[in-house]
Amino acid sequence: MRGLLRKWLILGAAFLVLLPPPVPAHPDTGESKSLSIVHLGDSYSAGNGIGNHNGPAPCLRSSHNWGSLFASWANSRGVATSYQNRACSGGNIDDLFSPRSLPKQPAKEVAADSIEEARAKLDETDACSARAAGDDLLSVDHHLRESDGLSLWAKKYTYECQLTVRAQTDFVGPQTDLVLLTAGGNELGFTDIIANCFGPRIPGALEGANGTRCREGVAATMAGLPEMLDRLKSQISRLITERMTGNPKSQVILLAYPLLSLDRPYHLPDGAVSYDAARGVRELGRAAIREQRRIIDELENDFPGRVKFIEEVADAFDGHEPDPRVFTRNKHRWINEFLETSGDHGQNGGISGPRSGSSTDWYHPNLAGHRRIAKLMQDPSNLTSARSATETPDSPAATLQGPYVGKIGENLMLDARASLPSRGRITRFEWDFDGNGTFDATTGDGHVLHNYPQQISGYVRVRVTDESGAQATTSALLDITRDGDTIPDEFDNCPEHPNPMQDDLDGDGVGDSCQDPTAWGITAPLGSDEQAVTPPAEELPAPSLPRPPVLPASPGLPKTGK
């Protein structure tokens, strides 16, 4: 890649949050601990639908996801915890050990006199946001071809950005203490099940839910559960035996998916009868949990103490799932419903979120949901793979949890708490907010809040000093942009709003994030007896019936990602 984005190194005003000094040792043992976490999997790990995305644009990795929140909690307990989010929206089980060509972005045009000039222009301006992909990136394909359109000064070429990224497990090695994981949803057809069981009708884009297609999809997915999860079992076994070889206590934690519908009937025509789509999808979700438990029990026999299953997610989300109706929302939802993103607690006592026309946001945990999952993870037993930090290297080890992507004028939290001293503890953190070689602020704590007033495409640096006076410096990628994504404005189909996927559901060349979905002519699925309501009605979920003490016998894994 030649001449990627130019650097704007601009000194900005800072908001410094001076938090209490870091705890020098694990509070339960008094012993210094370190923990290296790598997060793998699909969109339910990456962070679809909660904003603040970084890394390869189509992966939709968010700094607000439950893994980041868990790592922050671990650091607050005095465990020096580094965290890498390598999960990717749409990820499959096979992507764990294989490179993956990510989905193409919608076609756009670039003016140039030749195809070579067009390719050079796209490279030099980083039109495909390759720089943000960092060390995940293997290659960029522009899929260039001459278009029919002509300009007064040059030919036009159509291009479709497509990144190929490394296998997720390339980032797992002997140094890895803990792998966090959600996997299997996309093998089960997450996108198709949501569209066929709950989807609205959008002219030219979505046919809408259909009882027959929903029933057949649920049945096929149910039948494929054992084989699919046996494949996941094999991949977890490979992780432990081939990659996580440096710490005999290292561990893989598999997280269950929440159920994808409230426990209320949602009947759709199915030939001469009707099919309860909500019940079918909930049963599928419960079946998946049961099969996940099976493979983890089998792995525990092979690798005692090395695997763990967080199966309480569905129960924790009980009453907070999406309402299956298109034009009615669960007021207390912890999963984004159709046409919304980044749902969180609002002033009305319920959940509200910005409008979103990006389908990759829908039916994924919202901000409140990720916090709830992180709370499930905040168990000291999930830190048992931490290592004793008793070795004394010649110099500290500086760690900065990046990459960082932010929007002009918004606060960005920078975190270096995973840094390790050579003696005693880290006493000073010096911050070079824009990577220009000058340290702009000094704190006694390892994280700081900074406000960037102008665009930057560069690096943020931190220098740490321990009690012996030894120092170490590290940096992380930094992009501050007008809209909060890393697509250059001149190539962005919606430069006013963050839309790293460049979704364009109706194919009109304008990003879905810049459109009003209410103008799409959305209607309810045929035969559902729903009436269109704008905005969707908000209802409280009905109280759940008592749940039997054991899981029902059948069901499947909700899928994740697009």
Active site residues: 43, 364
52 CB contacts (<8 Å, ≥6 apart)?
A: 62, 63, 64, 405, 406, 484
Compute the distance between CA of residue 102 and CA of residue 123 in angstroms, rounded to an integer: 18
CB 498 within 8 A of CB 513: yes
* Three-state SS annotation for 13-70: CCCCCCCCCCCCCCCCCCCCEEEEEEEEECHHHHCCCCCCEECCHHHCEECCCHHHHH
Q: Give the bridge partners for 53, in sequence order.
A: 62
Could you give the 3-state DSSP secondary structure of residue 121? Answer: helix
The single-letter code of the amino acid at 385 is S
Compute the distance between CA of residue 363 and CA of residue 558 in angstroms, rounded to an integer: 10
CB 460 within 8 A of CB 432: yes
For 427, the enclosing helix (H) or strand (E) is: strand 426-432
Could you give the 3-state DSSP secondary structure of residue 413? Answer: strand
Q: Give the bridge partners for 340, in sequence order.
A: 355
In terms of DSSP bridges, do strands 155-159 and 108-112 run parallel, antiparallel, or are they unpaired?
A: antiparallel
Compute the distance between CA of residue 539 and CA of residue 262 in angstroms, rounded to an integer: 12
Compute the distance between CA of residue 111 and CA of residue 47 in angstroms, rounded to an integer: 35
Compute the distance between CA of residue 369 and CA of residue 351 in angstroms, rounded to an integer: 10
Q: What is the dihedral of CA 244, 246, 251, 255, to 10 degrees?
A: -40
CB 166 within 8 A of CB 121: no
Cis omega before residue 535 (within 30°)? Answer: yes
The single-letter code of the amino acid at 296 is I
Compute the distance between CA of residue 465 and CA of residue 472 in angstroms, rounded to an integer: 7
For 371, the enclosing helix (H) or strand (E) is: helix 367-377
CB 413 within 8 A of CB 476: no
Structure tokens at 46: 């990456």
CB 87 within 8 A of CB 183: no
In a 10 Å sphere around its CB, with 0-12 CB exposed, 13-18 middle and 19+ buried, how is residue 150 labelled? exposed
Measured in residues, the chain has a length of: 562
